[in-house]
């Protein structure tokens, strides 16, 4: 009988836990057992039909144990090794974990040779707190963004978006930009604002929108918005006086704004991928400097892992919901049919999905 494993599979508008064949790794490949994984904002966009990424099994945030290695894989990746996977290959667009390659929301994930040879699989210390794994990749995005914005020495950081990246940016900014930088967080909804008001690490300013707010000092904006809201967020940030803007959120092809005539916003964001080039390529439009990035470099993932290890309590409460595969499929169905983020009476910031029990990963 062929080996199988459970996976959350999406097909059209349906989401269900199904059995899938477990494929043994070929030359250069790795089979891993995801331990904890997270649901990302881009995952939710796929569930809602706002993106057409083809992978039926999504998920690109988390950690896993190596189960088996194909011929030629370095001995570093012996069975049992705890690893993280960088989901965005900087030079091979054919590997985008959970988007065009089946992702982590399954009991076994086959990582192709291009990811292994390209250094996309990172060994982690055994002391890693796997329950925080869903925060690793989004915090790496924040490390990338704030590291680039720090080059411009802002006095104010304007964060637009009250999802996981926005909240992580607020909390990590003290470490990466300095205690002297004032942080303002723009919310999309009243439930989002209430979550921030109850936070043990709130921003200095909690805003319902930047309209009517003007910052006179050097201001950096980090736009952590869905792709259909990024242009409006950019225009609001520019109106508030932002000098440098990081387009963390996605953009539709050809996106533009009359406030920055002649600037292809999607091209400015796509100019930086997986940490390359380093430093990031900047687009200048008058007084405004603009950049964006897809994915992160390994150094950002390792920086995020070190930050989570150093101060886990600063971030743990951002994981608001924890469940297994069946529960995650239920949450995904709820999110697919709604524009809201309330699940079981609480605002969802980050969903953590337990996939493989630590004492059963060898099975």
Domains of the chain are 4-136+301-354 (3.90.180.10), 138-292 (3.40.50.720)
Which residues on adjacent β-strands are paired with residue 9? Answer: 16
User: Are 227 and 251 in contact, with CB atoms under 8 Å apart?
Assistant: yes
pLDDT digits (tens, 9 = 90+) for 229-253: 999 999 999 999 999 999 998 898 8
Checking if the pLDDT of 362 tops 70, the result is: no
Alpha carbon distance 23, 286 (integer Å): 53
User: Which run of H or of E encompasses 207?
Assistant: strand 205-207
CB neighbours of 263 closer than 8 A, spacing ≥ 6?
Answer: 256, 257, 283, 285, 290
User: Are 138 and 301 in contact, with CB atoms under 8 Å apart?
Assistant: no
Alpha carbon distance 72, 33 (integer Å): 20
At residue 61, the 3 state secondary structure works out as strand
pLDDT digits (tens, 9 = 90+) for 31-64: 999 999 999 999 998 999 888 899 999 999 999 9
pLDDT score at 13: 76
Query: Over the Cα atoms of the chain, what is R_g?
Result: 20
Reported as a pLDDT band with limits 50, 70 and 90, residue 361 is very low
Checking if the pLDDT of 353 tops 80, the result is: yes
pLDDT score at 152: 97
Exposure string for 79-90, b = 16+ CB within 10 A, e = fewer: eebbbbbbbbbb
pLDDT digits (tens, 9 = 90+) for 76-100: 999 999 999 999 999 999 999 999 9
Average pLDDT on 158-174 reads 97
Reported as a pLDDT band with limits 50, 70 and 90, residue 23 is very high
pLDDT score at 227: 87
The shares of helix, strand and coil residues in the chain, as percent rounded to the nearest 5, are 30, 25, 45
User: Are 306 and 98 in contact, with CB atoms under 8 Å apart?
Assistant: no
Alpha carbon distance 22, 29 (integer Å): 13
Reported as a pLDDT band with limits 50, 70 and 90, residue 340 is confident
Alpha carbon distance 187, 189 (integer Å): 6
User: How many H-runs (helices) and E-runs (strands) does the chain carry?
Assistant: 9, 18
* Structure token digits, residue 16: 């269900």
* Structure token digits, residue 80: 């049992």
**Torsion, Cα of 16, 17, 18, 24 (10° steps):** 130
Share of the chain above pLDDT 90, in %: 88
pLDDT score at 360: 46
Is pTM beyond 0.85 here?
yes
């Amino acid at each position: 009988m062929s080996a199988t494993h459970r996976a959350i599979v999406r097909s059209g508008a349906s989401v269900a836990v199904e059995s899938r064949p477990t494929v043994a790794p070929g030359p250069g490949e790795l089979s891993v057992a995801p331990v904890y994984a997270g649901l990302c904002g881009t995952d939710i966009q796929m569930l809602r039909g706002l993106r057409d990424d083809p992978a039926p099994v999504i998920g690109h945030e988390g950690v896993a144990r190596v189960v088996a290695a194909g011929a030629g894989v370095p001995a570093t990746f012996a069975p049992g090794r705890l690893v993280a996977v960088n989901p965005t290959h900087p030079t091979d667009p054919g590997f985008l974990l959970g988007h065009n390659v089946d992702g982590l929301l399954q009991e076994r994930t086959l990582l192709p040779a291009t990811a292994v040879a390209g250094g996309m699989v990172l060994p982690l210390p055994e002391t890693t707190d796997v329950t925080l794994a869903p925060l690793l990749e989004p915090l790496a995005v924040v490390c990338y963004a704030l590291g680039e914005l720090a080059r411009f020495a802002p006095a104010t950081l304007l964060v637009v978006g009250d999802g996981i990246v926005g909240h992580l940016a607020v909390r990590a900014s003290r470490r990466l930009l300095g205690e002297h930088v004032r942080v303002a967080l723009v919310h999309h909804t009243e439930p989002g604002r209430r979550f921030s008001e109850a936070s043990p690490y709130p921003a200095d300013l909690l805003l319902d929108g930047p309209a009517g707010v003007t910052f006179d000092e050097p201001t950096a904006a980090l736009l952590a918005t869905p792709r259909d809201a990024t242009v409006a967020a950019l225009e609001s940030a520019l109106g508030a006086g932002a000098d440098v803007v990081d387009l963390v959120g996605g953009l539709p092809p050809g996106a533009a704004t009359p406030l920055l005539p002649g600037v292809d916003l999607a091209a400015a964001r796509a100019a930086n991928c997986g940490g390359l080039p380093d430093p990031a390529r900047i687009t200048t439009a008058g007084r405004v400097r603009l950049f964006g990035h897809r994915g992160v470099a390994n150094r950002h993932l390792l920086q995020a892992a070190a930050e989570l290890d150093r101060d886990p309590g600063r971030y743990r409460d951002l994981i608001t919901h924890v469940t297994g595969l069946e529960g995650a499929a239920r949450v995904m169905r709820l999110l697919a049919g709604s524009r809201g983020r309330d699940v079981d009476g609480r605002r969802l910031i980050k969903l953590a999905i337990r996939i493989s029990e630590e004492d059963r990963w060898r099975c």
